[in-house]
Amino acid sequence: MTERSMTREDDVLVEQRERCFQGFYRLDRLHLKHRLFAGGMGPSISRELFVRPDAVCVLPYDPKTDSVVLVEQFRIGALDKSPEPWLLEIVAGLIDTDEQPQEVARREAREEADLVLHELLPVMNYYPSPGGSDERVYLYVGRCSTEGVGGVFGVAEEGEDIRVHVWPFAAALQAIQDGRIDNAASIIALQWLALNKDKVCADWLALES
């Protein structure tokens, strides 16, 4: 039996949408019905939706030294569940309305790490938490030079205090195993690079020769 695909137009009825909170982010409450896999429309349900701009995350990688650039900063989401809420992450930022994802990747690399990115490889686009948020992440790996990289950066007006690290790629992978790196974008990007590093290095080193 062929399974019927679900589409928004035919299978979801939004009966009411109310704004519960508006700050830096937004919280909406939706009252809706959606079609059931068994057929027919289900009952009305209420769901809160965390509304926020889409994000761009990029793993800066130096193929000459086989090293990556990681940033460390305080994260409010880790405050209650981690002994140290300063997380090791890849470069990331939100998309302004008139920006393309690759522009954001390059801008954030400059702001967070004083870093220039050359080629950008798209890894994937994904929803990090679709059960309650509409955020979509655009994930990249970017070629860089790690020579002279390091220090503390960030946009002071945005409350950023970001320490920059250069790690051997193997050490960054081990940090996933150890639980030291425990956020989704960093894990996905590092594991993707582990699977594709031979080709990435060959292609990028050819550009530098």
**158: annotated active-site residue:** yes
SS3 103: helix
Supply φ then ψ for residue 151, to 5 degrees: 120, -170
Query: What is the Cβ-side half-sphere exposure of residue 44, based on CA atoms within 13 angstroms?
Result: 7
Ordered alpha helix ranges (H), the chain: 8-11, 101-113, 169-178, 184-208
> Three-state SS across 120-144?
EEEEEEECCCCCCECCCEEEEEEEC
CB-based burial, 187-208: b 16+ in 10 Å, e otherwise: ebbbebbeeeeeebbeebeeee
Catalytic position from the list 99, 158, 160, 208: 158
What residues form DSSP beta bridges with 71? 89, 164
Query: Is 173 in contact with 188 (CB distance < 8 Å)?
Result: no
**Where in the sequence numbering do the catalytic residues fall?**
158
